[in-house]
Amino acid sequence: MSGRGPGPAGPPVTYLDHAATSPLRPGVAEAMAPFLGARFANPSGSHRLARDARTALEDARDQVAAALGADPAEVVFTGGGTEADNLAVLGALWARVGPGPATVVCSAVEHAAVLAPAGAAARRAAGHPGAPSVELLLAPVDADGAVLVDGLGELLGEETAVVSVMLANNEVGTVQPVGAVVDAVRRAAPRAVVHTDAVQAAAWLDVAALAAGCDLVSVSAHKVGGPKGAGALVVRRGTRIEPLLFGGGQEQDRRSGTHDVAGAVGLAAALGAARSARAEESARAAALRDRLADGLLSSVAGAVESADRRRVLPGHCHLRFAGVEREELLVLLDEAGVCASAGAACASGALEPSHVLLAMGVPAAQAAGAVRFTLGHTTTAADVDRALAVVPDAVARLRAGG
């Protein structure tokens, strides 16, 4: 996605941060537009305009369900991936907690939207004497960031309430062995609920097939070319969750609040478009990613690829540059019009090393020079060419003290 910067004198913009957010796909804005205009009604009403909005909402639910391999009644619309993750972890935990202890088992490389609510539940339980105990346990990962299923299995037991392992990592892009995780949980902790955060994977992978055994599946619209502020949680039939939001009882009492019809329509349109174009886009992005990674590895001494690209999403290129600080490098890249990130978008500007890289065994000093370049449906060969021209010079400047 090349263009001009903010202002006539701005440098050309090369956008390589699709893992943070991706531009709207063709047709998404058009699908949403009527519900930002004349078809504005609240779908919870009873008059004709409300019925029209409700029909559109349920059509969107059908489309999301088809894309995710769910029944329409299993789809809960949310305000994004973070809310979907919180509802999955806390909702399932609260539905399970009784007089005995409960554990939440996560991979050590989960997104903060999973780790933070699980950790908060454990801290709150510890701070209230007499309350049921909650413990967060982290499963180890290998050097590529894939969870070690045997290691996770050692953490499972009768007290396991929730197991959460993402379908693909948001930082380094590693695809997780979710099917094997589900099998391990069913054997060792049959009462546990299995959740997968498919937010990063939905643009590239067949979530319906890969997450078929999971009880809860989270997705977010803006990662697949839809609008920000829209997402969904699949809650398989028979899976109990407690709501986080109370009020009007929408979404079968699982998530109260007036529906964002336009957001739901945009999510459905983006998921459908991504699903239709997946094979072609994956092959194209992987070829561009390989050219970007190979070019930077050959032109920048000391550059290291963080994970085996055969195990990562097609659009992910995560590199570590020895002798530079990532925030300084990102500033220089931005000045030259190349948009990249240090990892999770919500951690931008953070000075501490990535918890993902540390869990992978990367020393903190090496993690300091990590940069994530992520490609998407609008990435072109010109974008890769521009990055190959800009990044080596920016690294050289920093290493020379410039």
- Give tens-digit pLDDT for 300-347: 999 999 999 999 999 999 999 999 999 999 999 999 999 999 976 555
pLDDT band at residue 9 under the 50/70/90 scheme: low
Q: What is the DSSP string of 1-51?
A: -EEE-SSTTPPEEEE-BTTT--PPPTTHHHHHGGGGTTS---TTS-SHHHH
* 198/218 Cα distance (integer angstroms): 5
Q: Give yes or no for residue 266 having a pLDDT over 50.
A: yes
Domains (range + CATH), the chain: 2-25+278-399 (3.90.1150.10), 28-273 (3.40.640.10)
* 14/174 Cα distance (integer angstroms): 24
Where is average pLDDT lowest: 149-163, 250-264, 349-363? 349-363
- Cα 155–105–78 angle (5° rounding)? 165
As a dihedral over the C-alpha atoms of residue 373, residue 378, residue 381, residue 386, rounded to 10 degrees, the angle is: -50
Helices 381-399 and 326-335 meet at what angle, rounded to 10? Answer: 130
Q: Is 346 a catalytic residue?
A: yes
Percent of the chain predicted with pLDDT > 90: 89
Res 346: pLDDT: 56
* 4/152 Cα distance (integer angstroms): 47
- Give every CB contact of residue 130 below 8 A, 6+ residues apart in sequence: none
Contact 162, 105 (CB under 8 A): yes
Res 3: pLDDT: 56
* 13/337 Cα distance (integer angstroms): 4
**Among candidate residues 335, 295, 285, 347, the one with its CA nearest the CA of residue 319:** 295
Q: What is the pLDDT of residues 102-135, one digit of tens each?
A: 999 999 999 999 999 999 999 988 777 766 789 9
Q: Which residues are registered as beta bridge partners of 13?
A: 3
Q: Give yes or no for residue 395 having a pLDDT over 50.
A: yes
Q: What is the pLDDT of residues 162-190, one digit of tens each?
A: 999 999 999 999 999 999 999 999 999 99
Q: What is the pLDDT of residues 191-232, one digit of tens each?
A: 999 999 999 999 999 999 999 999 999 999 999 999 999 999
Query: Residue holding tokens 């990962």?
Result: 141
Residue 326: what residue type? R
Per-residue b/e over 354-374, b at no fewer than 16 CB within 10 Å?
bbbbebbebeeebbbbbbbbb
* 32/257 Cα distance (integer angstroms): 19
Contact 231, 213 (CB under 8 A): no
Decide: helix, strand or coil at residue 344. Answer: coil
Catalytic residue (choose from 106, 317, 339, 346): 346
Instruction: Please tell me the number of Cα atoms within 13 Å of 165 on its side-chain side.
Output: 33
Question: Phi and psi for 3 in degrees, rounded to 5?
Answer: -170, -165
- Give every CB contact of residue 286 below 8 A, 6+ residues apart in sequence: 314, 315
* 324/13 Cα distance (integer angstroms): 23
- State how beta strands 338-339 and 12-15 pair: parallel
* 90/80 Cα distance (integer angstroms): 16
Contact 188, 157 (CB under 8 A): yes
Decide: helix, strand or coil at residue 269. Answer: helix
* 357/195 Cα distance (integer angstroms): 22
Query: Residue holding tokens 């019809």?
Result: 261
